[in-house]
Amino acid sequence: MKNTENISVSFMLNDSPQTISVNPLRRFSEVLREDLGLTGTKVGCDAGDCGACTIQIDGEQHNACLTAAAQLEGRSVLTVEGLSNNGNLSPLQQVFLDEGAAQCGICTPGMLMAAQSLLDQTPNPSEPQVLDALGGVLCRCTGYTKIVQAVLKAGQSSSTSSAPEIENQHSEIKKQKYVGTRMPKVDGYKKMTGEEIFGADKAPEDSLWLRAVRSPHPRAKFTHADPEIVLQKFPGLVRVLTADDVPGNNGFGIYPHIKDQPVLAKGHVRFRGEAVLALVGDRESVESVTDDDLGLKWEALEAVRGWERALSGKLEPVQSQIPDNILARGFLKKSDVEKAFSESDIVVEGQWTTSAVEHGYIEPEAGYARKIGQRLEIFVCTQTPYMDRDEVAQVMGLEPEQIRIIPSAVGGGFGGKLDLSLQPLVAIAAWILERPVRCIYTRPESLSSSTKRHPVRMSAKAGCNRDGKLTAFEYHGDFNTGAYASWGPTVADRVPIHCSGPYFVPSVLAETRALLTNESPSGAFRGFGVPQGAVAHEALMDELAEKTDIDPLEFRIRNALRKGDRTATGQLLENSVGQVECLEALQGRWRKWRADAEVFNQNSPHIRRGVGCGSVWYGCGNTSLSNPSTMKVGINAEGKITLYNGAMDIGQGANTIMIQICADALGLSATQFEFIMGDTDLTADAGKTSASRQAFVSGKAAQLAGEELRAQIIRLAEASENSNLRLEQIGTSDGGKLIVKDEAGRHEIILADILPLANGDVLIGEGTFDPPTTPLDENRQGSPYATYGFGAQIAEVEVDTLLGTTKVLRLAAAHDVGKAVNPTQVEGQIHGGIAQGLGMALMEEYIQGVSENLHDYLMPTVGDMPEIEVILIEDPEPLGPYGAKGIGEHALIPTAPAILGAIKHAVGVSIHHLPATPDRLFAALQAADSE
Ligand code: FES
Ligand code: FES
């Protein structure tokens, strides 16, 4: 492509004639984004697998990444930027916004274009037609349910909506009552139009490009040529960074005492995909330099793979300072489990293994860094700006205050963007070269270098009495943490607490180990190991139910945790324990679905149906650790209200619900709020977006901030507590004024009369909340979480016994969320969690060197999703904002157990290695046949 002459290409682009001089072979996605500035078209894979780049060419949907620029000659192109009209959303965009069809929004432009193409040809499509049209576009957040609903609705309605969408929506909401309403996303408009700025969508004009060079071996020694020699050969290269260029500590990690992962490896790599060098220069040069050009010489070493080898002691340890490869241990003991088993009427046990699972966010890691004076500014997609700031500072040998993290919109995270990726690389390059430096991971690079869900090898045992009351539970799990610690110790610690499920069990023993291997580092992924553990406890519940001849759902109800029970850590549950309500809410469907399956199976020898159940409980927040959040809300002289929101919105909707909560606490209209998200110079530390903590912890902080600002206003007005507040004259030259009305009359506060604070606001309210927990004793007894979310799901599957395939037909999910601050968003979280749980159960398995692209790594598409019904249970949590607690991780946890239980019900075989791919299920069926 380098030597190809540019040609002139003329085409229509969003109804305007366009002529460009371009390399005829260039990807059109790149031309749109880099040359024409139309970054609404996203790139998730550059290989035709994700559909994020879907555009219309002559009315048909096409992948812009697979379209060469020359192919556009004489054609007509429509991109997402061409859908809206003078700032007014198209009917389809409006329905997407109204229905909550976008979460992170990175797939939204592609989805919209695919859907619009269908609607142009088939104005009122059927559901199968919608599924067919959207089949090429992946979404990792929504579970597709609301997207399909939106397209069907758009087809059924020919009405157009031309007014500004957010104002319109909000005006229908009763003033000063936002919590509990389906307020559309406050950042939804930009997600619809393609204006939202993700990590790859922006960089200073004079930015250099950076590409990391990565190991093709899981374990190897290596040498490379002198960087100066490489630079002489490639004039477009400005720098070849090596480990010696790291100014501070060449090691990062999430724990203060473990900084084991090098920014750039020095002479020795521990996993395939580890960064060894970084090339900085013009884009063409950094992309064209080969490993040979760099004089890279590898001496491959025997790799430690899997649990057996990690513990065999026969190979050199992965990290020399940990000779037995046991990075961390977890433990829990409640009462005498051995005695309890000996006194139990029935005891069942089993072993299971699960695979590495990829987060699969559609937005690959991207961002840039630039040096400003003696500070570094880093624009990046992240779940945790303050942790990034502190990590980059120690890698750079700078003070944390010298680093500013400006988060981009985040195109999905799910725990995978909690660890550093490109941040230290672009930081080092920008600091040394004093030029802005940007980096966008390719999809294979993202897959090979990022963390995964821990594969686990586990055994578990459960006992009960003849009347079906649980007596004892024991669990042992070896979690494959891969080459570096990442979140391995957290997983080892969290699993024992949750491994006996949402049940009252008098005696529990649990042991876990996080093992180092030469595989991808395993980190945080929606549930921190708890989804894997749930596979074991739910399979054992089914078995005990069978042995006691009790219906599986009834068995769970009998044993469910209730108010007044003590958990496995001995914590007394006093409030917000909706487990029984969740299970009972599913009872009617359960009976009907089971009866339906029985009828179906009577005349279907090869296609068999079954219905299974899974339960979940999950502690919101960090385990027995302080995890505070601080939020601020300010009003300036013009009457502009800004929520300074440090709680990263990664698609789950933190930007919106924090405003809903704060607006209610303050007593002003949510439609008047603006927000700043995650900028470490402008927002306080709200902690990381993980552990299902933001709605609960940061939500409470937002409530407190709103209440504090309200109190200030009422004091200033010398009005009473029950006053009604109103903001007037926003943005006029007169400035803003607050009208405060109480029983005594009307009071006015002229905002311009108040001396501005350092940030320009005249009034600021601040709230901090740190959920109360206690340290755990040597048996891990205590109160590790301030609150827990509960839930249950039932799934109906259809198994083709001749092929081994499983199709999930329908799924009902009941979750106790305390209070649904925004039911649309809560439903969206549940749908998305179910999609990821379905993937974990049936198809997702990351294999290094094999599934490093989205063609070979299978994730659920729209066609894989069942019909989903969500039931929200609201047992209020007194500590939470208006009763709310978390849901982000809870929704995924019971899905795989429910599906596996349904398979067992359908065909009588238990799957003990996840995912239950057709080959595994077929082999299990054959083995069962031959018994
Ligand atoms: S970027 Fe084109 S299909 Fe993924
Ligand atoms: S909303 Fe679809 S990938 Fe995030």
Residue 347 has pLDDT above 60, yes or no: yes
pLDDT at 311: 97
Short-list 481, 468, 440, 554, CA closest to 322:
481
For the segment 664-680, the average pLDDT, to the nearest whole number, is 96
Ligand 2 center to 383 CA (angstroms): 15
For the segment 827-848, the average pLDDT, to the nearest whole number, is 98
Phi-psi group of 389: left, alpha or beta (phi > 0 → left; psi -120 to 50 → alpha; rest → beta): alpha
> How would you list the strands of the sheet with 237-241, edge to edge?
237-241, 275-281, 208-214, 437-440, 366-372, 375-380, 403-407
User: Which of 106, 112, 854 to probe ligand 2 with, by most ligand atoms within 8 A of CB?
Assistant: 106
Ligand 2 center to 814 CA (angstroms): 23
pLDDT at 730: 63
pLDDT at 140: 98
Exposure pattern of 412-445 as b/e (b: 16+ CB <10 Å)? bbbbbbbbbbbbbbbbbbbbbbebbbbbbbbbbb
Taking residue 465's Cβ as centre, other Cβ atoms within 10 Å add up to: 13
Confidence band (pLDDT; 50, 70, 90) for 162? Answer: very low
Q: Which residues contact 706 (CB under 8 A, 6 or more apart)?
A: 633, 661, 662, 663, 664, 665, 666, 667, 765, 767
825 Cβ inside 6 Å of ligand 2: no
Ligand 2 center to 365 CA (angstroms): 15
- Ligand that comes closest to the CA of residue 362: 2
782 Cβ inside 6 Å of ligand 1: no
> How would you list the strands of the sheet with 788-800, edge to edge?
607-619, 788-800, 805-816, 867-873
What are the tokens at 619? 């502690």
d(CA 827, CA 910): 30
State pLDDT tens for residues 101-116. 999 999 999 999 999 9
104 Cβ inside 6 Å of ligand 2: yes
Q: Which residues contact 359 (CB under 8 A, 6 or more apart)?
A: 140, 412, 413, 414, 415, 416, 450, 451, 452, 453, 525
- The radius of gyration of the chain's CA atoms, rounded to the nearest angstrom, is 28
For residue 411, give the ligand 2 atom closest to its CA.
4
d(CA 895, CA 917): 16
d(CA 769, CA 626): 10
State pLDDT tens for residues 117-138. 999 999 999 999 999 999 999 9
> Residue 454: helix, strand or coil by DSSP?
coil
Ligand 2 center to 94 CA (angstroms): 17
Ligand 2 center to 139 CA (angstroms): 5
List the end-to-end C-alpha distance of the chain, in Å, as a whole number: 60
- How remote is the C-alpha of 437 from its chain's centroid? 26
For residue 64, give the ligand 1 atom closest to its CA.
2
* Strand duo 297-300 + 346-353: pairing: unpaired
Give the single-character DSSP code of 913: B
Which of these ranges, 123-132, 728-737, 850-859, has the smallest mean pLDDT? 728-737
Phi, psi (deg, nearest 5) at residue 371: -95, 130
pLDDT at 5: 93
What are the tokens at 361? 């966010």
For residue 854, give the ligand 1 atom closest to its CA.
4
Confidence band (pLDDT; 50, 70, 90) for 538? Answer: very high
For the segment 215-223, the average pLDDT, to the nearest whole number, is 98
Residue 505 has pLDDT above 90, yes or no: yes
Residue 159 has pLDDT above 90, yes or no: no
User: Which of 28, 31, 53, 857 to probe ligand 1 with, by most ligand atoms within 8 A of CB?
Assistant: 53
859 Cβ inside 6 Å of ligand 2: no
User: Which of 134, 137, 141 to probe ligand 2 with, by most ligand atoms within 8 A of CB?
Assistant: 141
E strands, 638-697, are 641-645, 673-677
Ligand 1 center to 49 CA (angstroms): 6
- How remote is the C-alpha of 6 from its chain's centroid? 41
Ligand 2 center to 812 CA (angstroms): 22
For residue 103, give the ligand 2 atom closest to its CA.
1
- Ligand that comes closest to the CA of residue 361: 2
Cβ atoms of residues 363 and 104 within 8 Å:
yes
Residue 165 has pLDDT above 70, yes or no: no
Residue 175 has pLDDT above 50, yes or no: no
Ligand 1 center to 217 CA (angstroms): 27
Cβ atoms of residues 467 and 502 within 8 Å:
no
- Ligand that comes closest to the CA of residue 142: 2
Short-list 538, 453, 466, CA closest to 845:
453
- Helix 385-396, helix 423-433: angle, nearest 10: 50
User: Which of 53, 54, 80, 108 to probe ligand 2 with, by most ligand atoms within 8 A of CB?
Assistant: 108
Look-up: residue for tokens 């067919």?
A: 132
Ligand 2 center to 616 CA (angstroms): 24
Half-sphere exposure of 159 (CA within 13 A, CB side): 6
Ligand 1 center to 303 CA (angstroms): 33
For the segment 341-366, the average pLDDT, to the nearest whole number, is 98
Q: What is the dihedral of CA 193, 196, 197, 200, to 10 degrees?
A: -60
Ligand 2 center to 163 CA (angstroms): 26
Look-up: residue for tokens 């984004």?
A: 33
Taking residue 707's Cβ as centre, other Cβ atoms within 10 Å add up to: 18
Ligand 2 center to 401 CA (angstroms): 33
* Strand duo 268-269 + 220-223: pairing: antiparallel
56 membership: H or E segment, kind and range: strand 54-57
Residue 371 has pLDDT above 70, yes or no: yes
pTM of the full structure: 0.96
Look-up: residue for tokens 């999703």?
A: 865
Ligand 1 center to 50 CA (angstroms): 5
Could you tell me how many residues make up the chain?
931
For residue 50, give the ligand 1 atom closest to its CA.
4
Short-list 428, 360, 439, CA closest to 394:
428
d(CA 134, CA 294): 43
For residue 51, give the ligand 1 atom closest to its CA.
3
Ligand 1 center to 67 CA (angstroms): 10
363 Cβ inside 6 Å of ligand 1: no
Confidence band (pLDDT; 50, 70, 90) for 731? Answer: low
Q: Whose CA is nearest to atom 3 of ligand 1?
A: 48
pLDDT at 163: 37
Short-list 313, 271, 692, CA closest to 452:
271
> Residue 372: helix, strand or coil by DSSP?
strand
Confidence band (pLDDT; 50, 70, 90) for 3? Answer: low
281 Cβ inside 6 Å of ligand 1: no
Look-up: residue for tokens 């003849």?
A: 466
What are the tokens at 629? 């959040």
Phi, psi (deg, nearest 5) at residue 155: -70, -35
For the segment 10-28, the average pLDDT, to the nearest whole number, is 97
412 Cβ inside 6 Å of ligand 2: yes
Q: Whose CA is nearest to atom 3 of ligand 2?
A: 139
For the segment 384-390, the average pLDDT, to the nearest whole number, is 97
pLDDT at 172: 37
State pLDDT tens for residues 273-331. 999 999 999 999 999 999 999 999 999 999 999 999 999 999 999 999 999 999 999 99
Short-list 376, 375, 359, 358, CA closest to 367:
376
For residue 362, give the ligand 2 atom closest to its CA.
3
Cβ atoms of residues 50 and 83 within 8 Å:
no
State pLDDT tens for residues 43-64. 999 999 999 999 999 999 999 9
In percent, the amount of the chain with pLDDT more than 70 equals: 97
Q: What single string gives the DSSP state of each residue in 197-259?
A: -BTTS---TTPEEEEEEE-SSSSEEEE---HHHHHHH-TTEEEEE-GGG-SS-S-B-SBTTB-
Confidence band (pLDDT; 50, 70, 90) for 690? Answer: confident
d(CA 24, CA 590): 58
Confidence band (pLDDT; 50, 70, 90) for 2? Answer: low
749 Cβ inside 6 Å of ligand 1: no
Q: Whose CA is nearest to atom 2 of ligand 2?
A: 139
Alpha helices in 250-328 (DSSP H): 283-288, 306-312
d(CA 576, CA 789): 8
Q: What totals of helices (H) and strands (E) does the chain contain, helices first? A: 23, 33
State pLDDT tens for residues 231-275. 999 999 999 999 999 999 999 999 999 999 999 999 999 999 999
106 Cβ inside 6 Å of ligand 2: yes
835 Cβ inside 6 Å of ligand 2: no
Biggest CA-to-CA distance, the chain: 86
pLDDT at 931: 76
State pLDDT tens for residues 790-835. 999 999 999 999 999 999 999 999 999 999 999 999 999 999 999 9
Which of these ranges, 419-423, 439-443, 733-737, has the smallest mean pLDDT? 733-737
State pLDDT tens for residues 179-201. 999 999 999 999 999 999 999 99
Residue 20 has pLDDT above 50, yes or no: yes
d(CA 199, CA 177): 34
Confidence band (pLDDT; 50, 70, 90) for 732? Answer: low
Cβ atoms of residues 449 and 218 within 8 Å:
no
